[in-house]
Amino acid sequence: MFNLIENDIHLGEKADDKQQAITAVAQAFINKGLVEEGYLQGMLAREQQTSTFLGNGIAIPHGTLDTRHLVKQTGVQIFQFPNGVRWSDDNIAYLVIGIAAKSDEHLAILRQLTHLLGDEDIAEKLAKTTDPQLFINLFNASIVDSTLISLNVDTNSLLTLTAINAAKLQEAAAVDSQFVSEVIISAALPIGNGIWVNDSASGNKKNAIAVARPQKAFQHNNKQIAALVTVASVDQKVDELLVNLLDPQCQQALLNGNVEQVKAALQGQVVEVTTSSENKTDVSAENTKTATHAAAGQLEATFIVKNEHGLHARPSAVLINEVKKYKSTIQVKNLDRDTSFVSAKSLMKVVGLGTTKGQRLCFVAEGEDAEQALKGIGEAINAGLGE
């Protein structure tokens, strides 16, 4: 997650073309001291590699990997173009969200953007508003974010779960290094059903809740650990959500739900979670021909993402271009984040899966060329998706 302030938002802008729009974004980064001169060239070069148009009238220009050293501080600049800017082919961008990120911080930003702006109505409203507070309220309001939820963690260590949650919170700028140091050595509190909570009195920068759930519950000091909730708190607003942890339905979601169900339950929404899971067969990228029937008329295959920096915008775009070659209906989910299935032909949905190196993507294809599609997708992933 990231926090927006009013001077990060530029409403009612005009640009003749996308180069002019990207130049304006780069200059805003320079004016704020976020990047050094030369980052513009990286942003333009990145656009030449693959279009950064996400869908819903949104583009996310950012630099190339070899211009990361020019980023002084991670940041976002939002430019609204009410009249639109032609971005690629017939795609018109009304919201241009520039990203300057050090290391892999851009992945978390991309996930947040896709979750927030995946709704067409929200994107359209932001493209027309004259009130910057609408952007600030949308981007800064969420205490519970999907990027802070880690499921199916392969560990039998409470310390590992704590470290994962603390790192997620720090990446989201919700805590600083002092919080991380203290929460790791502090005792967690069991609240029942194998759910534990921990926090730190120091280093809190904003309200946020992180969740880490192991693949299987394990014992710690003769007590079961099935999920860990780590809390960053700067005021009493977070307390309203912590009360939900005592609700049986919320606990059921924490123990058995997918990412979106956990998020909804923590926010106090009623969530029905089934404890049963389908028995699906994984297929490696090197062995696509053994794809099994997921259901009548469907084929399923699972591939491991090998890209060093996960599925950020460029490899995601390469994947989408491969998927769109086929007539079949194709859906995909991130098994390691336990997401819901989404359309594999939507760039915004695929980026929103938040896939990092080593995670597994499960594809289900239905149609006349389903087997060919899964084979082509597997070969593309195994080849590195253009990287």
Query: CB of 181 within 8 A of CB of 202?
Result: no
242 CB burial (10 A radius; 0-12, 13-18, 19+): middle
The letter for the amino acid at 18 is K
Q: Which two tokens stand for residue 201?
A: 């009195």
Q: b/e for 30-59, b at 16 or more Cβ within 10 A?
A: beeebbeeebbebbbebbeebbbbbbbbbb
DSSP 84-139: EEEEETTEEEEEEEEEE-STTHHHHHHHHHHHHH-SHHHHHHHHH---HHHHHHHH
Report the C-alpha gap between 355 and 362 in whole angstroms.
12
Coil, strand, or helix at residue 366? Answer: strand
Letter for the amino acid at 367? G
Residues near 277 by beta carbon (within 8 Å), at least 6 away in sequence: none
Residue 220 designated active-site: no
What sign results for the dihedral spanned by CA atoms 16, 18, 21, 23?
A: negative
Active site residue 62: yes
What is residue 272's three-state secondary structure?
coil
Residue 244 · residue 266 · CB < 8 Å: yes
Which of 69, 106, 293, 312 is flagged as catalytic?
312
Report d(CA 286, CA 68) in Å as an integer.
32
User: What's the rounded Cα separation, in Å, for the pair 89 and 86?
Assistant: 8
Question: Could you give the maximum distance between any two Cα atoms of the chain, in Å?
Answer: 66
Residues 6 or more apart from 326 whose CB is under 8 A from it? 365, 367, 369, 370, 372, 373, 376
- Tell me how far the alpha carbon of residue 218 is from its chain's centroid: 28
Euclidean distance between CA atoms 126 and 381, whole angstroms = 34
How far apart (Å, rounded) are the C-alpha atoms in residues 103 and 91?
29
**Catalytic annotation, pick one of 62, 69, 115, 293:** 62
Q: Which residues are catalytic?
A: 62, 312
